[in-house]
């Protein structure tokens, strides 16, 4: 999975990352989905172990262009996990209270506690993405935020949080197909917004903003992964595999019972 990790200091040109790549799992969609069920079971067991041990904290960040598949990733990768130990935080337009604080204030309170996995569906990176593309604040303001974000994530990592950040990489043709499906299929109409078409017009500006964010904030303790996401089944397999590999590396174990259970008889 290292081929998808953005190495610290690496120049990022998203045109050189193939959103159709399926080289790690070339078996195809049908077999890929079957393999995902196996990974779901493995992730379910590891998440239970994480929760039971209560020592580690996991933060997963999902970012993408519109229709990139953030919701689908959450639904399929985390199918079957115990909701008691997994939380999803979605960041919409800030409230008046949030605007009265610094832009990271609302984010910090959603970070995971011990034994938890927290998934950010969009995140603090919106403050160097949409804010930049639509000139919501001057460049002199948003350009400083890469350093703020890296320092924020380093603080979390130093305090015991394992951070995995995934950019779901689709191309413009794939986005067109997904938007068209939302328009054509009645049960998907609720997902369609005319604002999506306006955002599509600034695709190149968003691409440049993502490239800078990936390049400036991928570190050893808080890496970015560029995930080929035109094929949803492949996207899910790669992300599941990376998360499972990281959880296994934590060498977790179930805690010993608080009481001596050797003589317990249940009548």
In a domain, 267, yes or no: no
In a domain, 152, yes or no: yes
CATH code: domain of residue 59: 3.40.50.300
In a domain, 259, yes or no: no
Q: What confidence category does residue 27 fall into, taking pLDDT thresholds of 50, 70 and 90?
A: confident
Task: Give pLDDT, residue 65.
Answer: 96
Task: Give pLDDT, residue 92.
Answer: 82
Q: What is the pLDDT of residues 74-91, one digit of tens each?
A: 999 999 898 889 999 998
What does pTM read for this prediction?
0.95
HSE of 8 in the Cβ direction (CA atoms, 13 Å)? 5
Structural contact between residues 62 and 73, judged by C-beta atoms closer than 8 angstroms: yes
| Average pLDDT of the segment spanning 102-119 | 96
Q: For the chain, give the percent of residues with pLDDT over 90.
A: 88
Decide if pLDDT at 96 tops 90.
no
Task: Give pLDDT, residue 257.
Answer: 82
In a domain, 260, yes or no: no
In a domain, 140, yes or no: yes
Q: At what angle do helices 29-53 and 232-249 cross, to 10 degrees?
A: 30
Decide if pLDDT at 93 tops 80.
no
| Average pLDDT of the segment spanning 97-124 | 95
| Average pLDDT of the segment spanning 112-125 | 97
Q: For the chain, give the percent of residues with pLDDT over 70.
A: 100
Task: Give pLDDT, residue 263.
Answer: 82
Q: Which of 242, 224, 253 is nearest to 43 (CA)?
A: 242
Give the other-Cβ count within 10 Å of 161's Cβ.
Answer: 21
The residues, any chain, with a CB within 8 Å of residue 160's CB and separated by 6 or more, are 55, 56, 57, 114
Q: Which of 84, 43, 85, 49 is nearest to 254 (CA)?
A: 49
In a domain, 207, yes or no: yes
C-alpha gyration radius of the chain: 20
- Alpha carbon distance 202, 199 (integer Å): 6
Decide if pLDDT at 5 tops 80.
yes
Q: Which domain holds residue 61?
A: 2-249
In a domain, 256, yes or no: no
In the chain, how many domains are there?
1
In a domain, 255, yes or no: no
């Amino acid at each position: 999975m290292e081929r998808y990790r953005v190495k610290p200091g690496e120049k990022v040109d998203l045109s050189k990352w193939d959103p159709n790549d399926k080289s790690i799992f070339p078996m195809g969609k049908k077999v890929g989905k079957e393999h995902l069920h196996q990974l779901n079971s493995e992730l379910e067991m590891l998440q239970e172990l994480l929760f039971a041990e209560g020592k580690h904290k996991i933060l997963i960040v999902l970012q993408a262009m519109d229709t990139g598949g953030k919701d689908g990733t959450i639904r399929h990768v985390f199918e079957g996990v115990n909701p008691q130990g997994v939380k999803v935080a979605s960041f919409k337009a800030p409230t008046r209270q949030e605007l009265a604080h610094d832009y990271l204030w609302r984010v910090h309170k959603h970070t995971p506690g011990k034994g938890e996995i927290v998934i950010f569906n969009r995140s603090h990176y919106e403050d160097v993405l949409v804010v930049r593309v639509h000139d919501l604040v001057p460049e002199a303001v948003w350009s400083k935020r890469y350093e703020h974000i890296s320092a924020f994530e380093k603080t979390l990592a130093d305090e015991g949080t394992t951070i995995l950040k995934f950019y779901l990489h689709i191309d413009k043709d794939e986005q067109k197909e997904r938007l068209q499906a939302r328009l054509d299929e009645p049960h998907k109409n609720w997902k369609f917004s005319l604002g999506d078409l306006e955002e599509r017009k600034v695709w190149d500006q968003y691409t440049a903003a993502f490239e800078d964010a990936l390049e400036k904030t991928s570190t050893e303790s808080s890496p970015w992964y560029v995930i080929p996401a035109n094929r949803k089944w492949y996207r899910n397999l790669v992300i599941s595999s990376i998360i499972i590999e990281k959880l296994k590396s934590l060498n977790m174990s179930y805690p010993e019972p608080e009481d001596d259970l050797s003589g317990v008889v249940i009548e």
